[in-house]
Amino acid sequence: MPDDARRALLTGLFDHAPTFPPASLPPQEALAEDRRARQSEHAWMLGRLVWSESRRGELGEDDERELALVDGHAERQDDATYLEGVELDEVAAQGLRAKIRCGGAHVPSVEELAAFVRGCRERGLVFKATAGLHHAYPTAEGEHGFLNLLAAAVFGDEEEALAAAAGSFELDADCFRWDGREAGPGRIADVRAALLHSIGSCSFFEPVEELERLGILR
């Protein structure tokens, strides 16, 4: 059990998807970028390499990297499968996990994303989110913030957490804080295990650099 709230909240959070839009790097460049992420001082925040099932043969010596393999609307990580675009009741009936896309052709509204998080919590579903979550807080362009999503999972009050403005959250070794509420490492670790597993991002360094600018990574 982590005794540092930052580690509890951020360890293995970012599944790295460098071949997917908007980065869309060619395989060899994508693998080189992933190796750079693995060698960085913040590699502890790096999750799995997200890769297309049909292109697995292009991994070469990186085939032993922990993978999240994407095949259509399903993503497989070892014995866990995440389904995208499937009703949560159906996901639960199949004993699988849920996945939501937060960017691209359709960006869910705060209300839609809040309903998804709440629905997963109510059904005991683990979920991951992907696309459009490069920034810690919501942007003027309508992108969601990954700190907001984490707060929605940890604290509840999903709509309010997802709409919270820049500077609303504090995170240090002791706890994650928002609007007079606090969550310590134990509570955070439970949420990461039982609700929000990871966030898919085509860039690893962009969200990490945001956390550095916010003074969270020291």
Residues comprising the chain, all counted: 218
Residue 99 covered by a domain: yes
Residue 218 covered by a domain: no
Q: What's the domain range around 42? A: 5-213
Confidence of residue 166 (pLDDT cuts 50, 70, 90): very high
Q: In whole angstroms, what is the distance from residue 79 CA to residue 62 CA?
A: 20
Residue 52 covered by a domain: yes
Residue 146 confidence (pLDDT) above 80: yes
pLDDT mean over 92-110? 95
Please report where in the chains the tokens 């956390």 appear, as a residue. 211
Residue 150 covered by a domain: yes
Residue 179 covered by a domain: yes
Of 57, 101, 49, nearest to 76 by C-alpha is: 49
Q: In whole angstroms, what is the distance from residue 11 CA to residue 214 CA?
A: 17
pLDDT mean over 167-175? 96
Residue 26 covered by a domain: yes
pLDDT mean over 36-47? 97
Q: In whole angstroms, what is the distance from residue 157 CA to residue 160 CA?
A: 6
Sheet holding 169-171, edge to edge: 169-171, 176-178, 181-183
pLDDT mean over 93-114? 95
CATH code of the domain containing 58 = 3.20.20
Residue 218 confidence (pLDDT) above 80: no
- DSSP, res 21: T
pLDDT mean over 179-202? 97
Q: What is the pLDDT of residue 1?
A: 62
Instruction: Count the domains in the chain.
Output: 1
Q: What is the pLDDT of residue 151?
A: 98
Whether pTM exceeds 0.75: yes
Residue 60 covered by a domain: yes
Q: In whole angstroms, what is the distance from residue 55 CA to residue 27 CA?
A: 9
Residue 185 covered by a domain: yes
